[in-house]
Amino acid sequence: MIMIDKKLKEKLKKAAQRVIDNAYVPYSNFPLAAALLTKNGKIFTGVNIENAAYGSTMCAERTAVFKAVSEGYTEFQALLILSKTKKPVTPCGSCRQVINEFGKEIDIIMMTIEGREIIKKNKELLPGAFDKDDMDQ
Ligand code: THU
């Protein structure tokens, strides 16, 4: 099982650090940033974007995925989630499901500003996900 190398991880962290303060979080004051690495080395970032109608909030991870897909990229190696918390933050269920659509083997790097990290494959975070195989039968 190939995991993301150190240099790429640092590059993703830097990309997430550059945008984390763009998180629009007036309600939670809980900024997050994501950096998504495509198979051919391009990076798309995302932040959480909240709304007065709380349910209309979008997570950082899905912002990054939707930016990439809308630009024509659908193959990904890794997604880093950066938080300002003590412990790394894990992607919510909806984000896991959206990531699963584009690859069960994507490395999910959960990292704090101080550098604490946990790395898991998306399939470990969302075992038995509903996907197109369930529909193609
Ligand atoms: N949030 C994310 O951006 N990603 C996640 O995976 C979990 C939650 C955001 C949504 C909201 O703006 C804030 O964190 C608190 O839930």
Ordered by where they begin, the domains of the chain are 6-125 (3.40.140.10)
What distance in angstroms lies between residue 5's CA and the mean position of ligand 1's atoms?
Answer: 26
* Residue 102 tokens, joined: 């584009």
Helix (H, G, I), strand (E, B) or coil at 4: coil
| Cα separation, 9 vs 29, whole angstroms | 26
Ligand 1 atom nearest the C-alpha of 94 is 6
pLDDT-based confidence at residue 4 (cuts at 50, 70, 90): confident
What distance in angstroms lies between residue 59's CA and the mean position of ligand 1's atoms?
Answer: 5
Side chain identity at 50, as an amino acid letter? E
| Cα separation, 52 vs 57, whole angstroms | 8
Where do the H-state alpha helices sit in the chain?
6-19, 60-70, 93-102, 122-125, 132-135
Task: Quote the pTM value.
Answer: 0.97
| Residue 92 near ligand 1, beta carbon < 6 Å | yes
Question: Residues with catalytic annotation?
Answer: 61
> β-strands 107-112, 76-83: how paired?
parallel
pLDDT, tens digit (0-9, with 9 covering 90-100), for 57-103: 999 999 999 999 999 999 999 999 999 999 999 999 999 999 999 99
The closest of 117, 46, 128 to 86, measured between CA atoms, is 117
Average pLDDT, the chain: 97
pLDDT, tens digit (0-9, with 9 covering 90-100), for 35-53: 999 999 999 999 999 999 9
Tell me phi and psi for residue 13, to 5 degrees: -60, -45
Helix (H, G, I), strand (E, B) or coil at 87: coil
Task: Judge whether residue 1 has pLDDT over 90.
Answer: no
Q: In b/e form, how buried is each residue of 48-66, taking b as 16+ CB within 10 angstroms?
A: bbbeeeeeeebbbbbbbbe
